[in-house]
Amino acid sequence: MTYDAYLPPPTGDPNPYRISLFKGRSRWNFQWTAGDEDALIEAVSELAADERVPLDWFDVAMVRQQMLQAIPEPEQTTPKPFDT
């Protein structure tokens, strides 16, 4: 059984992020684009709330953690000194 119908549609961004969650004999693959993180977490939360789906709230937390690790840190720029 697939649960793809629960996930938001892709935005068409050519550089999506992808993570996988392994649970028992199941493998869950999630894909999102920058800015769609909240929508994915909401969709995974809805899956966890469904008793027919073998995901729980710990899995939602794991997906969120993996998402944070998948997104590169913004580059730090050194502020230029003020001209006096």
What tens digit of pLDDT does each residue of 64-79 get?
999 988 887 766 677 7
pLDDT grade, residue 13 (50/70/90)?
low
Burial profile 51-64: b = 16 or more Cβ within 10 angstroms, e = fewer:
eebebeeebbebbe
Determine the length of the chain.
84
pLDDT above 90 as % of the chain: 42
Question: Exposure of 47 by Cβ count < 10 A (0-12 exposed, 13-18 middle, 19+ buried)?
Answer: buried
Is the pTM here over 0.75, yes or no? no
Strand partners, 20: 29
Whether 47 has a pLDDT exceeding 70, the answer reads: yes
